[in-house]
Structure 1
Amino acid sequence: MRNIIDAIMAGEPGEVGGLPVPESHRAVTVHADEVDMFHGLTSEEKDPRRSLHVEEVPTPELGPGEVLVAVLASSINYNTVWSSIFEPLPTFVFLRRYGRMSPLGRRHDLPYHVIGSDLAGVVLRTGEGVNAWRPGDQVVAHCSSVELEHPDGHGDTMLDPEQRIWGFETNFGGLAELALVKANQLMPKPAHLTWEEAAASGLVNSTAYRQLVSPNGARMKQGDTVLIWGASGGLGSYATQLALNGGVTPVCVVSSPEKAELCRAMGAELVIDRKAEDYRFWSGEHTHNPKEWRRFGAHIRELTGGDDPDIVFEHPGRETFGASVFVAKRGGTIVTCASTSGFEHSYDNRYLWMNLKRIIGSHFANYREAWEANRLIARGRIHPTLSKVYPLSETGQAAHEVHVNAHQGKVGVLCLAPGEGLGVRDHEMRERLLGQITRFHDR
């Protein structure tokens, strides 16, 4: 592994193709024999620092159409948290299902799961049938793994019956020194970014792009008003940038003055601090509070000059969904991609059907959407929102911070990179955009 790192750091990544592949490497794992370790605890009480292990694991066999990547950096996503607390169910259920599909799938069904759904790194080896990538290429990866043996996936690969999220529903993810991906997950690493910055955006930027911009999502257009929950967080910080980049007015909902300041630093003018306003959308565990929905809607109209949101960018789920349906404009769209506050949503359907609103489910992105989202970053139109970086050995702490919402933007993890600030090739572009690239990290 040392020889691989030295070749990359020396600016000779093409040399890695001639180096031997290590038989094992360090990786972040969860263990199948520990899935009951949090039994009896609430989600909030479950601690990723207890369940995430950093250990030496065997390097997986390379199959046709696959690529082995030397991972310089990765990042924490909310599915990292779900994996670590074994919710909504242990990920070993997904691995067993994948293992039954084929001999290649069987490699993933192991008593440990290497997690992580982002990476920036260098191609180390390519499998049979891979033509678009070669050893030494500097890449980032999106996290949609597809088989495409069924016709349903050929209009939109996210509809493939065998679509999976790499590093969550498959093994050999990105929180490791080596990762196994399909060739059609790879994209060029933006040349003006460091390894850790480049690794921060793949999952969340692609998800936000499909959710807001794509014809498969809300079809955001110039002049729209978009309500963005968690607007300074991993997903929301990219949604806010996409809105501003697309001629849209974002209404950013955050939970602290510091997060409100970050939204304004991105260029957003309309910000709601939900904690300062003390919004209580539930009056009990099972009872909505419509008075608070109305107060929230009035606040939005006060900020916008009377406009209700054309689009509501939803991902908190249970806590906010009733309010989201209520405040969307007549004929508006609620587009949801997650449920970080709970998976069972409820809302007053009268406000949906009588006002001709739509709810759209959106899940990650297809290759085309991920590529377009990455191209916006490569061109300096959208910027990483990396706020903090941990070494691989402290991934548990990094996941804990995301779990308890003690972070802003994205939290990165260094894998093979010996430190922060490495991997930049286009220094001129970086210098021009430096204030925007580092605005989260500087805080």
Structure 2
Amino acid sequence: MQHILDAILAGDTSAEDFANLELPESYRAAFVRKDEVDMFEGIPSKEKDPRKSLHVDEVAVPELGPGEALVAVMASAINYNTVWTSIFEPVSTFGFLERYGRMSPLSKRHDLPYHVVGSDLSGVVLATGVGVHNWKPGDRVVAHCLSVELEGPDGHNDTMLDPEQRIWGFETNFGGLADVALVKANQLMPKPEHLTWEEAASPGLVNCTAYRQLVSKNGGDMKQGDNVLIWGASGGLGGFATQYALNGGAVPVCVVSNEEKAEIARKLGAELIINRSEEGYKFWKDEHTQDPKEWKRFGARIRELTGGEDIDIVFEHPGRETFGASVFVTRKGGTITTCASTSGYMHEYDNRYLWMNLKRIISSHFANYRESWEANRLIAKGMIHPTLSKTYALTEVGQATLDVHQNAHQGKVGVLCLAPEEGLGVLDEEMRAQHIDKINIFRGL
């Protein structure tokens, strides 16, 4: 891979020269192994250690198919789906790869005894398959993680509804936590050139997810003046939701778990902040019983902050722990948008507060290409900023994933792949200087 890295770092390598680079037979990648899916059996989820299940070694470069691209990955990032893959919960991802492998002779490539993970990247196109005309070798790109086939009709209003919709690097193989990645060409977007490789890689999944869930008509359809309750407002998803609320003229009510995270929300520009730890909200009396009195206390605190107004949109992603409270505090006719469920998938809420008050629950899962493009465009224009806090080397991917698994991180955790060090890849220094404080808000936390 050194000749490929040299060509990227040179800065003046032509598209023709990139196209003529010899592709390696193998590349370094982070992966889980099919013969180890039972390694954590009987161990509580929080005690499962991704450092034991994530391996970094050489794997074969996959065959390049029609409509696809091979990308030299300079940097990637950790998402919760990599945590889930690494601890084999709620299911082993090898089931996804087996089903995908049965779809066609070309998709059979993905059904392997190892799964290369990762759903973010920034890098440089190395080669494109038959039928690709918008991208060429040498293009500096980021990738969103929606993989679709679009051979059936259902996805043609919204590609997220395609029956063959998958998340790249989670439900497909050859993900971004590697020196090379295989993507569909319609996953590619231009790299924001005021950002480093690691900064540009980090927004990807969470930025696009937040855009659809909160801004898009397919999600919350947020408007100016909306009161938006944002759980985990300084986290990977919440950090972007807070920015979108502020950027779109809404009023974020930011829920955080400690003062350090509250300070991050303030630096983003938020003013209405609820520190759950300080105020001691306990929405569950025990494992099986919620406490409606705490919902009411929480709602009263929100109205105190907003001048007597209830929440128009709830940006929900913790799931089980908070969902009952989210439904309760939403205004009559308001919306709860939900994804992820990091605290548990089995949500419970009192349906009287939903049905009698005409509230809506909208499910949201990643974003379509148009939504992803718009989200990336806002990053490129300096209107929305990365939430990168820390970067690891690819050899330390297990520790990076453990940080996210144990919630011992802020914002996004980045991973350097081919990039030999942080700080590389910036082409627009003037624009970077204008936004450097915002770019660095999460750094070192």
TM-score (structure 1 length as normaliser): 0.99
What corresponds to 1:141 in structure 2?
143
Matching residue within 282, 285, 289 for 1:283? 285
What corresponds to 2:113 in structure 1?
111
Structure 2 CA distance, aligned partners of 1:307 and 1:87?
39
Structure 1 CA distance, aligned partners of 2:366 and 2:12?
34
Say yes or no: does 1:10 pair with 2:45: no
Say yes or no: does 1:208 pair with 2:210: yes
The alignment partner of 1:330 has SS state of strand
Which runs of at least 4 in structure 1 moved beyond 6 Å after TM superposition?
none
1:12 aligned partner, one-letter code: D
What corresponds to 2:91 in structure 1?
89
Deviations 1:310-329 (A, max 9, x none): 00000000000001000111
Deviates more, 1:127-136 or 1:44-53: 44-53
Report if aligned partners of 2:390, 2:444 keep a CA contact under 8 Å in 1.
no
The alignment partner of 1:57 has SS state of strand
Alignment of 1:366-405 (within 5 A): 366-405=368-407
Number of residues of Structure 1 aligned to a counterpart in Structure 2? 443
Matching residue within 64, 75, 79 for 1:62? 64
Structure 2 CA distance, aligned partners of 1:406 and 1:98?
34
Cα offset for 1:31?
0.5
What corresponds to 2:276 in structure 1?
274
What corresponds to 2:315 in structure 1?
313
Cα offset for 1:439?
1.2
The alignment partner of 1:259 has SS state of helix
Structure 2 CA distance, aligned partners of 1:328 and 1:274?
18
Structure 2 unaligned residues grouped into runs of 5+: none
Matching residue within 186, 189, 193 for 1:187? 189
The alignment partner of 1:154 has SS state of coil
Structure 1 CA distance, aligned partners of 2:107 and 2:278?
49
What corresponds to 1:423 in structure 2?
425
Structure 2 CA distance, aligned partners of 1:355 and 1:234?
31
Matching residue within 233, 236, 240 for 2:235? 233
2:4 aligned partner, one-letter code: I
The alignment partner of 1:211 has SS state of helix
Deviations 1:24-46 (A, max 9, x none): 01000001011111111111111
1:3 aligned partner, one-letter code: H
Cα offset for 1:442?
4.5
Deviations 1:346-374 (A, max 9, x none): 10000000111000000000000000000
Deviations 1:241-294 (A, max 9, x none): 000000000000111110000000000001111112121101011111101111
Structure 2 CA distance, aligned partners of 1:78 and 1:307?
33
1:163 aligned partner, one-letter code: Q
Structure 1 CA distance, aligned partners of 2:385 and 2:424?
17
Matching residue within 323, 346, 352 for 2:348? 346
Structure 2 CA distance, aligned partners of 1:421 and 1:198?
11
What corresponds to 1:361 in structure 2?
363
2:7 aligned partner, one-letter code: A
The alignment partner of 1:332 has SS state of strand
Structure 1 CA distance, aligned partners of 2:184 and 2:27?
19
What corresponds to 1:334 in structure 2?
336
What corresponds to 2:409 in structure 1?
407
What corresponds to 1:220 in structure 2?
222
Cα offset for 1:332?
0.6
Report if aligned partners of 2:403, 2:409 keep a CA contact under 8 Å in 1.
yes
Cα offset for 1:92?
0.2
Structure 2 CA distance, aligned partners of 1:265 and 1:102?
49
What corresponds to 2:296 in structure 1?
294
Cα offset for 1:16?
2.3
Structure 2 CA distance, aligned partners of 1:288 and 1:442?
37
TM-score (structure 2 length as normaliser): 0.99
1:363 aligned partner, one-letter code: H
Deviations 1:225-249 (A, max 9, x none): 0000000000000000000000000
1:241 aligned partner, one-letter code: Q
1:307 aligned partner, one-letter code: E
2:416 aligned partner, one-letter code: L
Aligned CA RMSD, in angstroms, stands at 0.7
